């Protein structure tokens, strides 16, 4: 009798244990399927307060809610984005690391100054598309239209102010004049957009390669005039300024900031990230941020269009840097 009782207890205990283990296994599987399941790191190359850092933090304001996950910024400054990219490739491809990718990163990849290649990433969404704009001194420049501006450079070399050498501004100036069959410009580099805008107002350069936000104060005061926009279409804040394409020059360059993750991340996870970031950046909070820097809702696009732009950026960057002697 005692033995039978013990056996019954043993069998009941085993069944209960099996049920508990089965429940635990089910909970474990559910936890593994839940995504995101931990904090998402967003790696940027900019220091706190830099343009990419600010864009990233504005995106995250709502993305934390849309993705139902905590998100933290990881700042890795240096090397034109190389340190950020080199850090990114060391992280696991589990969908919990995002890289803020810019046109500067494309240049660094083209120069092969990072361990990362485009084969290591997949696009998620673009956050800003800030066209490069060729600007002149309103009061001192003889050029009052894009057409006159282009026509003059067929026979005359102009001085172009850029931020640094071998960067997006330099590449934009080079490709604009090359594809337009114009005289190659004399490049005069400055440390930043503010310094460049000041020198354009002072008459120290003929042309400034700037973004709208960098010269907004001088444009409003009537000191600097945008004359050609290097974008697919005219900018809403500058409806009267022609694009390079309208002038017969097939050049599109923008200071872009977007987001990518690892190539090995499961497609369904990438889709979750894309949906979450797109919803966050189409929210009125992020849209107000875009308006504050002179941009609009066209900045925000999904993975397909963003991925195509990354490919074009790298192709154009590589070709220009090679011709300029920055890469072999």
pLDDT for the residue 325: 87
Return the closest-CA partner of residue 281 out of 296, 263, 261: 296
Is the domain of 243 the same as that of 314? no
Half-sphere exposure of 172 (CA within 13 A, CB side): 30
Judge whether 149 lies within some domain.
Answer: yes
Strand partners, 121: 262
Of the residues 200, 221, 247, which one is the last residue of a structural domain? Answer: 247
Residue 36 preceded by cis peptide, ω within 30: yes
Indicate the pTM of the whole model.
0.79
Is the domain of 134 the same as that of 217? yes
* Total structural domains within the chain: 2
- Are residues 176 and 261 in contact, defined by beta-carbon separation less than 8 angstroms? no
Percent of the chain with pLDDT over 90: 71
pLDDT for the residue 156: 97
Give the whole-angstrom CA distance, residue 260 versus residue 120.
Answer: 10
Judge whether 44 lies within some domain.
Answer: yes
How large is the average pLDDT for residues 76-81?
90
- pLDDT tens by residue, 245-296: 999 999 989 989 999 999 999 999 999 999 999 999 999 999 999 998 888 8
Percent of the chain with pLDDT over 70: 90
DSSP secondary structure letters along 93-158: SSS-EEEEEEHHHHHHHHTT-SS--GGGEEEEEEEEEEEEEEEEETTT-S--SHHHHHHHTTT---
pLDDT for the residue 20: 44
pLDDT for the residue 33: 66
Of the residues 247, 278, 307, which one is the last residue of a structural domain? Answer: 247
Is the domain of 194 the same as that of 209? yes
Judge whether 66 lies within some domain.
Answer: yes
Considering only CA atoms, give the Rg of the chain: 26
Is residue 4 over pLDDT 80?
A: no
- pLDDT tens by residue, 182-222: 999 999 999 888 899 999 999 999 999 999 888 888 999 99
Give the whole-angstrom CA distance, residue 273 versus residue 275.
Answer: 6
Q: Would you give the distance in Å from CA 132 to the centre of its chain?
A: 14
How large is the average pLDDT for residues 173-180?
95
Q: CB 13: neighbour CB atoms within 10 A?
A: 10
Is residue 311 over pLDDT 90?
A: yes
Tokens of 213: 């936000």
**Each residue of 189-210: b (16+ CB within 10 Å) or e?**
bbeebeebbbbbbeeebbbbbb
Give the whole-angstrom CA distance, residue 314 versus residue 312.
Answer: 5
pLDDT for the residue 88: 98
Tokens of 73: 């910024």
- Are residues 98 and 121 in contact, defined by beta-carbon separation less than 8 angstroms? no
pLDDT for the residue 2: 44
Strand partners, 226: 135
Q: Give the CATH number of the domain where residue 198 resides.
A: 3.40.190.10
E strands, the chain, are 40-44, 71-75, 97-102, 121-137, 159-163, 186-190, 207-210, 224-230, 254-262
Give the whole-angstrom CA distance, residue 19 versus residue 317.
Answer: 60
What range does the domain containing 62 cover? 40-129+255-323
């Amino acid at each position: 009798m005692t033995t039978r009782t013990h056996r019954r207890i043993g069998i009941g205990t085993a069944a209960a244990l099996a049920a508990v283990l089965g429940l635990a296994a089910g909970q474990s599987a559910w936890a593994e399927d839940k995504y995101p399941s931990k904090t998402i790191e967003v790696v940027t190359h900019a220091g706190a307060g830099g343009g990419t850092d600010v864009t990233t933090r504005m995106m995250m304001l709502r993305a934390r809610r849309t993705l139902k996950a905590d998100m933290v910024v990881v700042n890795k400054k240096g090397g034109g984005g190389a340190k950020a990219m080199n850090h990114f490739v060391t992280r696991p491809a589990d969908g919990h690391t995002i890289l803020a990718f810019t046109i500067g990163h494309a240049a660094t990849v083209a120069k092969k100054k990072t361990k990362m290649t485009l084969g290591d990433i997949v696009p998620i969404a673009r956050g800003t598309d800030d066209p490069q704009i060729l600007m002149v001194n309103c009061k001192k420049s003889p050029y009052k239209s894009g057409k006159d501006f282009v026509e003059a450079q067929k026979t005359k070399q102009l001085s172009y102010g850029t931020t640094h050498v071998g960067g997006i501004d330099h590449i934009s100036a080079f490709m604009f004049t090359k594809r337009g069959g114009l005289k190659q410009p004399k490049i005069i580099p400055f440390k930043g957009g503010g310094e460049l805008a000041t020198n354009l107002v002072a008459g120290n350069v003929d042309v400034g390669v700037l973004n709208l936000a960098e010269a907004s104060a001088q444009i409003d005061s009537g000191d600097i005039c945008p004359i050609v926009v290097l974008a697919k279409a005219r900018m809403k804040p500058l409806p009267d300024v022609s694009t390079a394409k309208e002038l017969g020059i097939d050049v599109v360059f923008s200071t872009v900031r977007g987001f990518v993750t690892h190539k090995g991340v499961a497609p369904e996870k990438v889709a979750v990230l894309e949906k979450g970031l797109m919803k966050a950046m189409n929210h009125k909070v992020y849209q107000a941020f875009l308006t504050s820097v002179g941009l609009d809702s066209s900045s925000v696009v999904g993975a397909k269009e963003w991925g195509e732009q990354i490919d074009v950026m790298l192709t154009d960057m590589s070709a220009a840097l090679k011709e300029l002697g920055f890469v072999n």
